[in-house]
């Protein structure tokens, strides 16, 4: 059984597990099945908004699909949640991609 099938089987047994949904999203993205990847990432943001790893990857997926405004909004939402949770590492990662997506250059004053 391949990795995708294993993850789908695990999800049948644990349908509310955010890690499994995240793993499926990244697996589908790796397989170039962006519609499925989007479905899982967007579901995670709605149902498990505190699963912070989602925001970075969903934003990057939006950017790869030329959906820059949606990427910026998801980075903003992720920064808000990671800041509330005190997850400084995730906050800084999101802040970095947010600045790039918005055209903010650190040298600009």
Q: Which of 34, 40, 75, 39 is nearest to 56 (CA)?
A: 75
CATH class of 3-102: mainly alpha
DSSP-based three-state secondary structure for 87: coil
Domain ranges of the chain: 3-102
61 within 8 A of 38, measured Cβ to Cβ: yes
pTM of the model as a whole: 0.89
The CA dihedral of 49, 52, 57, 59, to the nearest 10 degrees, is 60
Residue 104 confidence (pLDDT): 83
What is residue 86's predicted lDDT score, i.e. its pLDDT? 95
Q: For residues 72 and 6, what is the distance between their CA atoms, to the nearest angstrom? A: 33
Tens of pLDDT along the chain (109 residues) come to 699 999 999 999 999 999 999 999 999 999 999 999 999 999 999 999 999 999 999 999 999 999 999 999 999 999 999 999 999 999 999 999 999 999 986 555 4
């Amino acid at each position: 059984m391949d990795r995708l099938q294993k993850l789908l089987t695990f999800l049948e047994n644990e349908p509310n597990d955010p890690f499994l949904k995240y793993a499926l999203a990244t697996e589908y993205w790796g397989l170039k099945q962006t519609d499925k990847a989007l479905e899982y990432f967007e579901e995670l943001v709605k149902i498990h908004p505190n699963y912070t790893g989602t925001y970075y990857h969903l934003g990057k997926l939006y950017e790869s699909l030329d959906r820059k405004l949606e990427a910026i909004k998801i980075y903003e939402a992720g920064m808000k949640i990671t800041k509330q949770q005190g997850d400084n590492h995730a906050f800084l990662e999101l802040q970095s991609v947010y600045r790039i997506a918005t055209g903010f250059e650190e040298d600009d004053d």
